[in-house]
Structure 1
Amino acid sequence: MPLPRKKENKGLPARWRFKHGAYYYQVPIGLEAQWDGKQLFRLGKSLPESYRTWADRLSTLDDAKNIAELLDRYALQVVPTKSITTQAQNSVAIKRLRAVLGAVPLQSLKPRHVYQYIDKRQAKVAARREVEVLSHAYTKAVEWGYLDRHPFKGEVRLDGEKPRTRYVEDWEIIECLSIESRRKAGSVLAIQAYIRVKLLTGMRRGDLLRLTMSDLKDDGIHVTPGKTENSTGKRLIIEWSDELREAVSIAKSARPVQIAPWLFCTLRGECYFDEETGRAGGWDSMWRNFMSKVLETTKLKEKFTEHDLRAKCASDAETLEHARALLAHADGKITERVYRRKPERVKPLR
């Protein structure tokens, strides 16, 4: 007997159920043998984990009649190739798209429907992110032979978000590093060490928090950016400089557990970054507390984000190409548009 639909299940793939803190798949009658003989198969606690389990069990969809079925295949084949954080974001976007547009026939979507979708949402930024996922899904639909052309690519013009312009001045960094810590390790000292390493390498938060002692080799810091790990597999070797060696040395001494494998670790010697969810809740809380203390005890009047430090690294690089390489961007356009925040200096005519 089918389980009754619950409000919280709205937007999930067909026959999915959420109960007792986990996602389950209600197996169609007669197919129990393919699902370990179960009528209700447990997929996982999180959406990314559940989609991976489902992908392992289901055969590839040969046809898609509506947007829900297209998104199902997209979730199975495309989402797992992205970074952990992007997977989680895409899963949420897919759930919302399915709830509103899932029953729409694949070839019936028009540009006006996309505008209406965004117009009716209060969270405009989230809505634009969801439309980006839908657009990519339709790009894959053309690749998979479902459609001959993308129904709204190039025909929908959305007001994009303006890139953040906050540039962190050198004196602001000095103020942050001047705060004294009550503890001999962790907390304030860990954040200050993180700032030092971040400014020299421009590494993403997830990559920096997942950095291990074994990544620190004789020729430099070896990094495989999580954002490209499942796509291009691009690897970086950030060569040592005297400043970088000193920054890493400070980070090592700031660790609360000296035998931990991570350069930045919790009081238990564990990694701050959760590979399953793509989040670093403990670290984010520590960062917020640090910035509150900075505003209370220093000359700073405006806080900056952890991501602003990555932009400062790119802005302070002598050339755009150097900044692009540090940030591991495939194209310098995103580096220039979003991360190079210093005013451009030009000389007057003679």
Structure 2
Amino acid sequence: MKRDPLPRGVFPKGRWYYLVTAQGNKRIWHKLSLIKDGLPALYAALAEARSQAAGILTMPALIARWEREVMPAHDQKTQKDERSRGKAIAAAFEDFTPAQVETPDCAEFLAQFKSKPRTFNAYRAQLREYMRFAEELGLRPAGTNPLQAIRTKATPARSRYITDSELRRIKVAAMRGDDGRPTRSGAMICALIDMAYLTGQRIGDLLALEWSAIQRDGIVFQPSKVRGSTAARVLIEWTPKLRDVERRLRELRKARRGFAPQVFTTQDGKAYTYWGASAAWQRARRRAGITDCTFHDLRAKALTDKEAREGMSAAKTMGAHATEAQTADYVRHKSARKTKATR
């Protein structure tokens, strides 16, 4: 009778399976599991032995290694969110090795977020990524990710559309502080808001925009979100309003003390961070009395208005989306769609 193939380096001896490693010319036998307990027990013991050999004894150690090796490739805001979720996951799975994490353990942890679909999905995705990383390191058998059996939760479509009037009020509020006096950052934040609306790009890509991307035919963006997939680039061609924003930005650059390669800079000439720009947006929105809108809603407004004027294909191109279905998620209907009665 043909036996199932054993993992590399594993051999039966007596009643036990052993992992055999080499130290120079010497062979070291590490006891794994009883042969009678079968391959599942063998794989669990093997994963544990390998985790110990790699110095990864618990989930917190795995998470720490993931943050050192994988997370640096992500953008600043994503890293901050991942670090926060990572702390909660590490605390919940403190006594687990990567091989010990099973689907019921993950379901029990995620249950606390069941009333918050987006939070639930974010934690599920991050925990799933940790388990993928564990498989990559050989700390779990391939194809045993325990999150595969847990479905994502449906999230309600966001319908917030910022009106032209609201946008004007936010920009006015950005120019003046709570005391009614002009703010130091107002002109730059207004230029950022206008650029976001006119180009339909994400705030991270706007803040990363360098002067070298501003060319004769327009402004070239390569959205960071698609660099690892479609690697799409989009050229936003000049319009009179976009040219006006460029002119204002060049005047602001001359007035700044530094000359960073980034287009959007603080008063001292340093590149704006996500958190700095976001805080300025929130202050302006609050002073304007505008509720329930985010900076990302400017992208939705841009793509919605583009779709209304030029059609879904044009909006898809502006959004650098692979499919029109992705663009449709951004389109916010300002009024009810019109159609005639059946007869």
TM-score range, shorter chain: 0.5 to 0.7
Q: CA, structure 1 residues 245+186, in 2 after alignment: closer, same or farther (shift >3 Å)? A: farther
1:198 shift after superposition: 0.9
Aligned with 1:237 (options 226, 230, 235): 235
2:111 is the counterpart of 1:114: no
Taking the aligned partners of 1:180 and 1:103, their CA distance within structure 2 comes to 49
Aligned with 2:275 (options 276, 280, 286): 280
Q: CA, structure 1 residues 71+286, in 2 after alignment: closer, same or farther (shift >3 Å)? A: closer
1:132 shift after superposition: 1.3
Aligned with 1:250 (options 237, 248, 251): 248
> Normalized per residue, which structure has more helix?
2
2:188 is the counterpart of 1:194: no
> What SS is found at the alignment partner of 2:146?
coil
Equivalent residue, structure 2, for 1:340: 331
1:107 shift after superposition: 3.8
Taking the aligned partners of 2:338 and 2:62, their CA distance within structure 1 comes to 50
Equivalent residue, structure 2, for 1:270: 270
Show structure 2 runs of 5+ residues with no match: 1-52
Letter paired with 1:280: W
1:76 shift after superposition: 4.0
Indicate conservation of the 8 Å contact 1:291/1:303, yes or no.
no
> What SS is found at the alignment partner of 2:296?
helix
Deviations 1:21-80 (A, max 9, x none): xxxxxxxxxxxxxxxxxxxxxxxxxxxxxxxxxxxxxxxx86966544543453344323
Root mean square deviation, CA, Å: 3.5
Indicate conservation of the 8 Å contact 1:320/1:332, yes or no.
yes
Q: CA, structure 1 residues 84+284, in 2 after alignment: closer, same or farther (shift >3 Å)? A: closer
Q: CA, structure 1 residues 189+75, in 2 after alignment: closer, same or farther (shift >3 Å)? A: closer
1:121 shift after superposition: 6.5
Show structure 1 runs of 5+ residues with no match: 1-60, 274-278, 296-300
2:308 is the counterpart of 1:308: no
If you compute each CA radius of gyration, which structure gives the higher value, 1 or 2? 2
Deviations 1:123-167 (A, max 9, x none): 956564232111123234445553232443442235344232211
1:122 shift after superposition: 10
Q: Structure with the greater relative contact order (CA < 8 A, sep ≥ 6): 1 or 2?
A: 1
Taking the aligned partners of 1:148 and 1:346, their CA distance within structure 2 comes to 52
Indicate conservation of the 8 Å contact 1:111/1:155, yes or no.
yes
Instruction: Provide the TM-score with structure 2 as the length reference.
Output: 0.66
1:168 shift after superposition: 1.0
Equivalent residue, structure 2, for 1:172: 166
Equivalent residue, structure 1, for 2:157: 163
2:133 is the counterpart of 1:134: no
1:317 shift after superposition: 2.1
Letter paired with 1:309: L
Indicate conservation of the 8 Å contact 1:185/1:254, yes or no.
no
Taking the aligned partners of 1:314 and 1:69, their CA distance within structure 2 comes to 43
> What SS is found at the alignment partner of 1:166?
coil
1:242 shift after superposition: 2.6
Aligned with 2:206 (options 196, 205, 208): 208
Instruction: Provide the TM-score with structure 1 as the length reference.
Output: 0.65
Indicate conservation of the 8 Å contact 2:121/2:153, yes or no.
no
Aligned residues: 278
Taking the aligned partners of 1:179 and 1:87, their CA distance within structure 2 comes to 30
Equivalent residue, structure 1, for 2:287: 293
1:185 shift after superposition: 8.4
Indicate conservation of the 8 Å contact 2:230/2:322, yes or no.
no
Taking the aligned partners of 1:71 and 1:259, their CA distance within structure 2 comes to 38
Letter paired with 1:335: T
> What SS is found at the alignment partner of 1:217?
coil
Letter paired with 1:270: K
> What SS is found at the alignment partner of 2:279?
helix
Taking the aligned partners of 1:326 and 1:234, their CA distance within structure 2 comes to 11
> What SS is found at the alignment partner of 1:190?
helix
What fraction of aligned residue pairs are identical, expressed as a percent? 26
Aligned with 2:223 (options 222, 225, 231): 225
Runs of 4+ in structure 1 off by over 6 angstroms are 61-65, 182-185
Indicate conservation of the 8 Å contact 1:200/1:313, yes or no.
yes
Matched ranges for 1:312-323 at <5 A = 312-318=301-307, 319-323=311-315
Taking the aligned partners of 2:184 and 2:212, their CA distance within structure 1 comes to 20
Taking the aligned partners of 1:236 and 1:186, their CA distance within structure 2 comes to 32
1:309 shift after superposition: 0.7
1:272 shift after superposition: 1.3
